[in-house]
């Protein structure tokens, strides 16, 4: 339904064009098709894996934001849905994990959603606040760059405290 929210979070090994699953692989195209066919008003894909930026692009092609969005199969019908794809790295980068707990990306995402990204102190963590927090957290990291793309109201709530 239009009022529903879908969150797809995947943390696994990745390749340019998809991710590994317990019993095989799932391509970014398969995920885009699943999301395209849902009627939910808010759709979030969070991918934490090497080459996860390929969730934002067609494999082996780096394009402008607008061209990239057009390649996503027009997930948001007529711009009425909030659709966000947040990735831990660019499509040509590794996404570094940890042997001792969460990855740095997941730690920073959780910090953001637990209130550190609420820059205006309104009790709502917006999509834009979340991404800005992640960008700031990774600004000195030249090996891994979180990416976000989508069609959404930048002030749309990601989470309310």
**Is 22 in contact with 59 (CB distance < 8 Å)?**
no
- The 3-class secondary structure across 111-143, one letter per residue, is HHHHHHCCCCCCCEEEHHHHHHHHHHHCCCCCC
pLDDT digits (tens, 9 = 90+) for 80-94: 567 888 999 998 899
36, with CB counted inside 10 A (0-12, 13-18, 19+), is middle
Average pLDDT over residues 8-27: 90
Task: Name the residue among 123, 159, 143, 148 with its Cα closest to residue 57.
Answer: 148
Q: Give per-residue pLDDT as tens, 18-73.
A: 899 889 999 888 888 888 788 888 888 899 999 998 887 643 333 334 444 444 43
Q: Model pTM? A: 0.81
CA dihedral of residues 76, 161, 133, 143 (deg, nearest 10): -80
């Amino acid at each position: 339904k239009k009022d529903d929210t879908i969150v797809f979070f995947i943390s696994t090994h990745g390749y340019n064009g998809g991710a590994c699953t317990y019993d095989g692989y799932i391509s970014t195209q398969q995920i885009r098709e699943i999301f395209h066919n849902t009627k939910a008003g808010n759709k979030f894909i969070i991918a934490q894996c090497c080459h996860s930026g390929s969730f934002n692009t067609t494999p082996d092609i780096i394009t402008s934001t607008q061209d990239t969005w057009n390649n996503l199969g027009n997930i948001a019908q007529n711009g009425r849905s909030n659709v966000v794809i947040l990735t831990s790295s660019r499509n040509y980068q590794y996404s570094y994990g940890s042997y001792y707990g969460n990855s740095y990306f997941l730690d920073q995402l959780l910090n953001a959603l637990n209130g550190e990204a609420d820059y205006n102190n309104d009790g709502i963590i917006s999509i834009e606040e979340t991404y800005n927090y992640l960008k700031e957290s990774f600004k000195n990291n030249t090996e891994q760059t979180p990416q976000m793309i989508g069609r959404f109201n930048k002030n749309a709530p990601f989470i309310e405290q």
